[in-house]
Amino acid sequence: MIGQIIDGTAISAKLRGEVAIAAAALRAHQQIVPTLAVVLVGDDPASAVYVKAKAKAAREANVDVRDHKLPATTTQAELMALVAELNADPIVDGILVQLPLPPHLDSDAVIRALDPSKDVDGLHPTNLGYLAQGKPVFVPCTPKGCMRLLREVGVDPAGLRAVVLGRSVLVGKPIALLLQNANATVTMCHSKTRDLADEVRRADIVVAAIGRPEMVRGEWIKPGATVLDVGINRTAEGKLVGDVHFTSAIQHAHAITPVPRGVGPMTIACLLENTVEAARRRRG
Ligand code: NDP
């Protein structure tokens, strides 16, 4: 059996189209232009590329973007002052502070300072708390994208056994909560898990978010399982690969995301969806 390749590029384009229609409706009927403030501190090249991609996708989805580029020497007090200003600005619906911040800055304090109603990245403790209660408001974008991919390939997690590899606040923990909220039976694995292969073998849904190139082998995948590969890793040869060994895993999976063009494109689309939702909730 050869599994279906889940086309994240096409599905994200579909989602961005839906967002564009929702944003255009807000503009036409209520004169609201959903506005996202993006804060980028320093000159991390990967972050700069990502921020540029966000700006382009936002324009196409009728979302206004305001870029705030700050030098790497920005102090905590200066960054907190900008966050306070954006929190108070009635035009700004969503605030995205691009992570990672330079090491001298306390990113937890910055996230805690965000107005939760503008936290379109879903990382404020209030939003993570709502998610843990099973009453999500703003959900972190990559996990939200993973759930949409499952829906698009017709996989209802209810009653299925899901294994999440990785327990970060950004990806692993929220995806596990979303899967639980969708009635999956969820096992979380991490670097201290004794037998990763054994856990994966029992899973109907595998979400890999560990940042270890091709560590999950095809023979670990239960026949018919759905595999979402969140990992983005660069090999010594400069090739982008996921956390799953794609060519062997697709021999067993029912459906699987490639890297690139799988989970990755969904993140920006979900950020825009959250921004339009924030505009609707705040002003609509
Ligand atoms: P973190 O480094 O924050 O977390 C990695 C997690 O993986 C930790 O929980 C860690 O366990 C676990 N882990 C590490 N090594 C192993 C191992 N050998 N066996 C089992 N578990 C292990 O990473 P993120 O969650 O931020 O990101 C994970 C991956 O996803 C990265 O490749 C990142 O680039 C990618 N990513 C992709 C996005 C996208 O848009 N597609 C968005 C965000 C991230 P422990 O807690 O015990 O240390």
**202-258 confidence digits (pLDDT tens):** 999 999 999 999 999 999 999 999 999 999 999 999 999 999 999 999 999 999 999
Give the integer Cα–Cα distance in Å for 36 and 241. 30
The response to whether residue 50 sits with its C-beta less than 6 Å from ligand 1 reads no
Strands (E), 2-138: 4-5, 35-41, 64-70, 94-97
Position of tokens 């279906």? 4
Compute CA 166 distance to the chain's CA centroid, rounded to the nearest angstrom: 14
Question: How many angstroms is it from 211 CA to the middle of ligand 1?
Answer: 5
Provide mean pLDDT across the span 139-155. Answer: 98
In this structure, the residue with its CA closest to atom 8 of ligand 1 is: 166
The response to whether residue 212 sits with its C-beta less than 6 Å from ligand 1 reads yes
Give the integer Cα–Cα distance in Å for 188 and 180. 11
Q: Report pLDDT for 12.
A: 98
Give the integer Cα–Cα distance in Å for 13 and 6. 13
The response to whether residue 171 sits with its C-beta less than 6 Å from ligand 1 reads yes
Position of tokens 């960054």? 79
Q: CA-based Rg of the chain, rounded to a whole angstrom? A: 19
Its sign, for the CA torsion 25, 27, 32, 35, is positive
Question: What does the pLDDT look like over 173-185, one tens digit per residue?
Answer: 999 999 999 999 9
Q: Report pLDDT for 186.
A: 98
Token duo for residue 88? 């108070």
Q: At what angle do helices 172-181 and 125-132 cross, to 10 degrees?
A: 30
Q: Which residues are tagged catalytic?
A: 54, 98, 121
In this structure, the residue with its CA closest to atom 48 of ligand 1 is: 191
Domains and CATH numbers, the chain: 30-117 (3.40.50.10860), 141-264 (3.40.50.720)
**Could you tell me which residues are beta bridge partners of residue 29?**
none
Provide mean pLDDT across the span 164-191. Answer: 98
Proportion of the chain above pLDDT 90, given as a percent: 94
Provide mean pLDDT across the span 75-89. Answer: 98
pLDDT reading at 1 higher than 90: no
pLDDT reading at 98 higher than 80: yes
Backbone angles phi, psi at 104, to 5 degrees: -80, -5
Q: Report pLDDT for 46.
A: 85
Give the integer Cα–Cα distance in Å for 107 and 15. 29
Give the integer Cα–Cα distance in Å for 104 and 70. 14
Q: Report pLDDT for 284.
A: 77
pLDDT reading at 129 higher than 90: yes
Describe the strand order of the beta sheet including 161-165 as a list of residue ranges.
Answer: 4-5, 255-256, 226-229, 205-208, 161-165, 185-189
pLDDT reading at 82 higher than 90: yes
pLDDT reading at 51 higher than 90: no
Q: Where residue 283 falls among pLDDT bands split at 50, 70, 90?
A: confident
Q: Report pLDDT for 196.
A: 98
Average pLDDT, the chain: 97
Token duo for residue 18? 């839906």
Give the integer Cα–Cα distance in Å for 231 and 213. 8
